[in-house]
Structure 1
Amino acid sequence: MFDHVKFGVSDYAASKAFFLKALEPLGVVAGAEGDPAYGIELCGANNASLCLFQTVDKPTPLHIAFVAATREQVNAFYRAALEAGGTSHGEPGLRPRYHANYYAAFVIGPDGHNLEAVCHAPVV
């Protein structure tokens, strides 16, 4: 849905490692990278990118939802994000208050950002 989102992080190396590991199950890979003040572009299959850069300003926590093609990708994202140092903010599962097939998992990243992987597809 977006072309790119860029936001500051307090520990560039830690955030870069966290996001690369947590988003790997969703097909996200490292793209262009400059010095930490410029940052890194993390690229997905749909040409959208998430860009991180080092800042001394305390960023306001964001909620970013990433598209997952399958429920297994949601599960893999959750496991990878926890292994990378994230904190659970909602285990993988259905969220019927959004809609009947809303399957998502939530983690809090290094700077307090609420990251979600969501699959809207029904079980086939």
Structure 2
Amino acid sequence: MIDHIGFAVSDLSAARAFYERALAPLGILVLMDVTEQMTGGHGAHTGFGKDGKPFFWIGTGKTASGSAHVAFVAPDRATVDEFHRAAVAAGGRDNGAPGLRPEYHPDYYGAFVLDPDGNNIEAVNHGGAAE
């Protein structure tokens, strides 16, 4: 199951304004802003979603990281760890070792790998069993 998806935009403010208006009729609202400082220099991002769960992200991104980001739900932290090992063994490049990402929420445990085209692929567990 896909947990969330995101991609880079050339002008975050303009894209945010566009998506705020375009997605409002669908009940999809801005739920989170993540600054470049919060990501350790990996761009600023805006998360849109419903019911407190952001699932559509836009951000400034880095050109070296491709333009797409897809995150898959993992049932537990061990599976996130295994995803990271398997993806790196398959030729992916580490883009964030398995670990907690409290800047997103206290139980956010994820791992990131760049695929052969530089797209950012993630496995994430939000604590406990996957939803």
TM-score with structure 1 setting the length:
0.50
Question: How far apart are 1:122 and its partner, in Å?
Answer: 4.6
Is structure 2 residue 106 aligned with structure 1 residue 100? yes
Secondary structure of the residue aligned to 2:70 is strand
Give the Cα–Cα distance (whole angstroms) in 1 for the partners of residues 92 and 122 of structure 2: 12
Give the Cα–Cα distance (whole angstroms) in 2 for the partners of residues 68 and 115 of structure 1: 13
Question: How far apart are 1:121 and its partner, in Å?
Answer: 1.1
Partner of 2:92: 86
Contact 2:75 2:128 in 1 (8 A): no
Partner of 1:69: 75
Give the Cα–Cα distance (whole angstroms) in 2 for the partners of residues 94 and 122 of structure 1: 13
Partner of 1:25: none
Q: Percent identity?
A: 54
Query: For 1:63-118, what per-residue CA distance to the aligned partner results, in whole angstroms no more than 9, with x for missing partners?
Result: 00000010000000000000000000000000000000000000000111100000
Say if 1:122 and 1:101 are closer, same or farther in 2 by CA, change over 3 A.
farther
Mapping 1:26-65, distance limit 5 Å? 61-65=67-71
Give the Cα–Cα distance (whole angstroms) in 2 for the partners of residues 95 and 68 of structure 1: 15
TM-score with structure 2 setting the length:
0.47
Is structure 2 residue 110 aligned with structure 1 residue 110? no
Greater than 6 Å deviation, 4+ residue runs: none
